[in-house]
């Protein structure tokens, strides 16, 4: 297993997932609208600016990595760059879908829920599928990526809370 390659693959995903905490705000993606269950569709924590910032920051990070370090999971620099966009969009789509599920389960915005930890990674891996090589999707790679993310997610949130970037430590 190539740990460095896996870490470099994950960096754009983690950057996409965390940049909205700093850069988000403004108009909510769901425009304040409610779903059939009379609860918000996504909630106030999912903003248009946060979504776009996540996609942009993750893509920039992944494109820079592609320029200096070709990853074995992609057949060319071009596919690695398109992959950077795909994982970033997938991360933010997964993040929004997670909020959609949380609202359906009546979990308030900002409260922790198990899907927060891994759903964005799962959706990023699905979105990057058209651009990535099969070697990305080995069982050991997938186990490593999910295990690291399960450990990193609460750690990063705790650090962001201590730094005053996040109101809650999760």
Give the residue from 83, 10, 99, 122 showing the smallest Cα distance to 51. Answer: 99
- Considering the complex, state which of residue 99 and residue 141 has its C-beta at the smaller distance from ligand CTP: 99
- Considering the complex, state which of residue 5 and residue 21 has its C-beta at the smaller distance from ligand CTP: 21
Q: Is 95 in the site for ligand CTP (CB under 6 A)?
A: yes
Nearest distance from C-beta of residue 160 to ligand CTP, angstroms? 9
Q: Is 14 in the site for ligand CTP (CB under 6 A)?
A: no
Using CB under 6 A as the binding rule, the residues of this chain from 15 to 34 that contact ligand CTP are 20-21, 24-25
Q: Is 80 in the site for ligand CTP (CB under 6 A)?
A: no
| Contact present, 116 and 157 (Cβ < 8 Å) | no
Nearest distance from C-beta of residue 131 to ligand CTP, angstroms? 23
Q: Is 127 in the site for ligand CTP (CB under 6 A)?
A: no
Using CB under 6 A as the binding rule, the residues of this chain from 135 to 164 that contact ligand CTP are none
Cα–Cα distances in angstroms (integers) from residue 126 to residues 38, 83, 90, 121, in the given order:
31, 11, 7, 9
How far, in Å, CA of 13 to CA of 135, rounded? Answer: 18
For the CA atoms of 153, 119, 52, 99, what is the dihedral angle to 10 degrees?
Answer: -100
């Amino acid at each position: 297993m190539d740990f460095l390659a896996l870490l470099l693959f994950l960096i754009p995903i983690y950057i996409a997932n965390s940049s909205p905490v700093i850069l988000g705000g403004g108009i909510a993606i769901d425009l304040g609208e409610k779903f059939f269950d009379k609860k918000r569709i996504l909630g106030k924590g999912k903003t248009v600016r946060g979504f776009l910032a996540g996609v942009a920051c993750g893509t920039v990070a992944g494109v820079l990595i592609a320029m200096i370090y070709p990853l074995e999971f992609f057949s060319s620099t071009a596919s690695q760059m398109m992959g950077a966009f795909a994982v970033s969009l997938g991360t933010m789509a997964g993040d929004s879908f997670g909020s959609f599920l949380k609202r359906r389960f009546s979990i308030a915005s900002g409260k922790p829920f198990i899907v927060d930890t891994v759903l964005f990674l799962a959706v990023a891996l699905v979105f990057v599928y058209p651009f990535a090589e099969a070697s990305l999707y080995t069982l050991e790679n997938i186990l490593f990526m999910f295990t690291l993310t399960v450990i990193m997610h609460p750690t990063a949130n705790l650090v962001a809370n201590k730094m005053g970037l996040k109101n809650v430590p999760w």
